[in-house]
Chains A and B, each alone.
Chain A
């Protein structure tokens, strides 16, 4: 079932720049153009792109707080900009850099207000709250004013706040920004569970590609306002022609290693970096190196999705 339907979506902004002494010139900037994709219920989609690519503009249009200049847009069967209030009851939004909680109020009060805002049935509200408080370990923090929470704690509060009304879609904007490794891991684990158990559709914008690797089966890459890639993560690797790296520490310094199936990219003293296609097996290369050279140590580096995406950005 298609939940988010985007066809030829465009949004232009008029930017006025000062020119000369009194004059101002108007220029139109296309923040989003020819954007087309659809997302089915239950998908976990990574929406990525460099700064200024149009990610936030897209999310603002999807949630109805920005009116598209042209194109077709339906979310959960509704037209976001004209049916913003109805849509708001069906979606949840989490920002890594902003909070939806009330700064001066204890966490508990924020949750109570949200129950009234979304008119959640009190029984369901209590059940959801209990479940999320337990899953996200918020029990001891309910009476703490939001301003006193750490970033990680506040984030968990924000996630709970976004989910209390059982949204069909959860938009997450840089949800792991600034979190430590443990908190990031726990948050990702929680989102996976949410998607698996409740079937909540997730749309995630992030610069942290580990978020994408850990969560998203599908990636949409946007650049200059339009989608330049849409598909599974594996295809992204393939398209970027990603390669793995074999790092060889030799006993002594040596000229660049020559073995079939790999090429030496870099030599630094006794350490050498050999690159080979991500799809190929490392075993024959490792044995060839070990047979011909005195090897002190070996390690393999997985392809870096960041490099792949950088290539796509550069190519687009």
Chain B
């Protein structure tokens, strides 16, 4: 199976940078500690902000740090390779192959995400457990739904990053769009503050947008703030956004390959 082979090789490729992984885990942990104390101070003032208690809030912090790389919050992943290949014209080589560009890069990105959830996700979670006694999923079933939700988060994030990379077909370089997209993602994913404590109507709007998939939805499943029908509704919205965005990716790619000149001689 080609896509499995691509995912496995992508996993291996990201796993070669061990020192970078360790440095990243250290950074995540430092930010985890800082954010935890900030959130604790906030929840000390408003003990039920957004329907979270202090433990929920601290757990949310460590989940965010653990998933930061997996969901490639501010870009990164195989879509950066794609953007670079569009910029240099090497994308022509991808187009010479009898394989779809989207499936190819998605498979690679999923392999990367599996590596990042293991290498960059597990350690910060354990540290959060030791230092701040964070909450674990309410039941094995909630844990399983969390994994499903996370997978959908990666696909959604991939689709957005793929679209940003594709802007390089027209703009010649993705960096400006990547930065813009990164800022939107940091704010609207709930990485700075949980979306649930946003004031209305911003809260409802943010919860309906695709970035809510990144962290808020999986975190609410983990924390038990969604159960039963709530979980299904959350996942349904994630599936909907993933499907819509992937369809947009297809359309944009078709337009790009028909109208745009592949750069370089």
Which residue numbers of A lie inside 8 Å of B, CB to CB?
13, 51, 55-56, 60, 63, 65-67, 84-86, 88-89, 91, 93, 95, 98-100, 102, 104-105, 109, 112-113, 116-118
Contacts and interface: CB of A to CB of B under 8 A. Distances in A.
Contacts of B13: 104-105
Contact of A112 (B5, B16, B96): B5
Nearest to B104: A117
B265 A56 contact: yes
Complex A-B, nearest 6 residue pairs according to Cβ-Cβ distance, in ascending order: A88-B98, A116-B2, A85-B98, A65-B95, A104-B13, A56-B265
A166 to B, nearest CB: 14
25 contacts: A13-B261, A65-B92, A65-B95, A65-B257, A66-B261, A84-B95, A88-B97, A89-B98, A95-B93, A98-B89, A98-B90, A98-B92, A99-B93, A100-B93, A100-B96, A104-B16, A105-B13, A109-B9, A113-B9, A116-B1, A117-B2, A117-B97, A117-B98, A117-B99, A118-B97
Nearest to B91: A65
Interface string B94-122: 01111100000000000000000000000
A98 B93 contact: yes
Contacts, number: 53
B231 interface: no
A102 B5 CA distance: 13
A104 B15 CA distance: 11
Contact of A93 (B89, B96, B262, B265): B96
A113 B3 CA distance: 10
Contacts of B98: 85-86, 88-89, 117-118
Nearest to B96: A93
Contacts of A55: 265
A120 B158 CA distance: 30
Nearest to B1: A116
B6 interface: yes
B9 A102 contact: yes
B9 A105 contact: yes
Contacts of B89: 98
Given A65-B257, A88-B97, A100-B96, 5 more contacts: A66-B261, A85-B98, A102-B9, A105-B9, A117-B2
B195 to A, nearest CB: 37
B258 interface: yes
Nearest to A98: B90
B9 A88 contact: no
Interface in B16-62: 16
B258 A60 contact: no
B101 to A, nearest CB: 11
Contacts of B261: 13, 66
Contacts of B258: 67
A95 to B, nearest CB: 7
A113 B5 contact: yes
B189 to A, nearest CB: 29
Nearest to A52: B265
A66 B262 contact: yes
B97 to A, nearest CB: 6
Q: Taking each of B90, B93, B265, which has the highest tally of chain A beta carbons within 10 Å of its own beta carbon?
A: B265
Nearest to A165: B98
Contacts of B9: 102, 105, 109, 113
B144 to A, nearest CB: 31
Contacts of A88: 96-98
